[in-house]
Amino acid sequence: MWEHWTLSTIKSSEMKLTDIGYYNSYIKNVSIKAGKNHKPFVYNNFDEADDYSSDPWQYEVNKHCFRGRNWKFQKVPAFFGCSFTFGIGVKTPFPQIIENMYGGNAVLPNLGIPGGASLDIIKSFVTMAQLHPMSHAFISLPQIDRMFTPEVLEDRWVFSDVIPNALDKTHWKASKQRKQVEVWVGDLARAYTVDYIDWAELVAKQRGIKLYWSSWDGETDKFIKPYITNHFEWPMGDKKGRDGMHPGPVVHETVAQTIWDIING
């Protein structure tokens, strides 16, 4: 998952609304091909097996390259995470369920980044805090050892998210990425994650945003608890999404009800 950056767009606190889609670079690349001038489009079969080609799903992606309708910039809750938050494998992810609970014309931003690592997920929150009013923010982190790897090539920034247990050993980048992973996994990943959590907590306090954290990965969820102000529970297990790798409708409904109770508590 690679994308070009300018020196200005790498800075989370100064990123413009037109650039926020770079966090979701895979979707942004598809948007450029499928939707002229980044207009809203519907992308079929995102990350689904070929078995579903005869019964395609439509995942609505807005002009900012995130799942759901175009944002209205009202002060509402927003959601940040990886593919679990995006909602791969379900027609109605938990952010949309909560949006439906609000009723009317409310639009609750879903900034789920398929394949996202903790660092770029947290960076997306910091950026969004400058651009969109939020009453609450709910951040769901993946396994802590996922790695966000920006680097400069000549005058351009490129980045990828590396999932350690999903490296393609036949790919030409895999050897370099394995070396990076060997350095990242363990204490370094944890130290950076704690630092980024502290950053997000400070931004939330400055902006008056009620910030809540969780992780669907049990080890990560246990690790982050001493460093966060507020926590919400993510149900473990039940990978009954359409693709067999992600949570199914029951988990999304449970998470939605948990968050709804927090918002209205």
Taking only the tens place, the pLDDT of each residue in 209-260 is 999 999 999 999 999 999 999 999 998 766 688 777 789 999 999 999 999 9
Amino acid at 157: W
Spatial CB neighbours of 87, under 8 Å, sequence gap ≥ 6: 59, 67, 93, 94, 95, 96, 110, 112, 246, 252
pLDDT of residue 147: 77
pLDDT at 53 over 90: no
What's the pLDDT tens digit per position in 12-30?
A: 777 788 888 878 876 766 5
Question: Cα–Cα distance between 263 and 265 in angstroms, integer?
Answer: 6
User: What CATH number did the domain enclosing 169 receive?
Assistant: 3.40.50.1110
Q: Is 167 exposed, middle or buried (0-12, 13-18, 19+ CB in 10 A)?
A: middle
What's the pLDDT tens digit per position in 181-220?
A: 777 778 888 898 999 999 999 999 999 999 999 999 999 9
pLDDT of residue 244: 77
Q: What percent of the chain has pLDDT above 70? A: 74
Q: Is 27 exposed, middle or buried (0-12, 13-18, 19+ CB in 10 A)?
A: buried
Question: Cα–Cα distance between 12 and 37 in angstroms, integer?
Answer: 23
pLDDT of residue 14: 74
pLDDT at 1 over 70: no
H or E element that contains 60? strand 58-61
Residue 151's domain spans which residues? Answer: 4-263
pLDDT averaged over every residue in the chain: 80
pLDDT of residue 35: 44
Task: Say which residue, 38 or 53, is predicted with more confidence.
Answer: 53
Amino acid at 72: K
pLDDT of residue 29: 63
Question: Which tokens is 7 given?
Answer: 């020196």
Q: Domain total for the chain?
A: 1
Most confidently predicted of 42-51, 57-66, 67-76: 67-76
Cβ(255)–Cβ(77) below 8 Å: no
Spatial CB neighbours of 76, under 8 Å, sequence gap ≥ 6: 102, 106, 107, 108, 109, 133, 134, 135
Q: What pTM was estimated for this model as a whole?
A: 0.85
Question: Cα–Cα distance between 104 and 135 in angstroms, integer?
Answer: 18
